[in-house]
Amino acid sequence: MKGGFLANDFRAVRQAAEIGYGIALLPLLEVFDDLQSGQLLSLLNGFPAPGFPVSLVYPSRHHLAPRTRVVMEFVLAQMQEVRSSLDLRTGHAAPA
């Protein structure tokens, strides 16, 4: 392979990895389905990438709308499901 590929858009990096251009460092939540289906493979599981914070921004905890709480709980459940599934596949605990 000649040359390199550099992009600041994870969608472009993902597409390059999917067509076999090389190894990519991508957010787990973005590629989880591809990992589950076998479209992409997880490499270097013993050397996990550092985690990054995920924030949900809302006006105030006082008088929190029920729909806001439902969204917050959904996002948390999805992230926990991804982490648990990855832990089972790799045999390694994901970083906190």
Burial (0-12, 13-18, 19+ Cβ within 10 Å), 82: middle
Sign of the torsion angle spanned by Cα atoms 24, 29, 34, 37: positive
The tens digit of pLDDT for each residue in 13-44 reads 999 999 988 888 888 878 888 888 989 998 88
Report in angstroms the alpha-carbon separations of 33 from 22, 40, 63, 82.
Answer: 19, 9, 36, 9
Q: Is the pTM of this model over 0.95?
A: no
What is the band of 96 on the pLDDT scale with cuts at 50, 70, 90? very low
d(CA 83, CA 89): 10
55-68 mean pLDDT: 81
Q: Could you tell me the two tokens for 88?
A: 């089972």
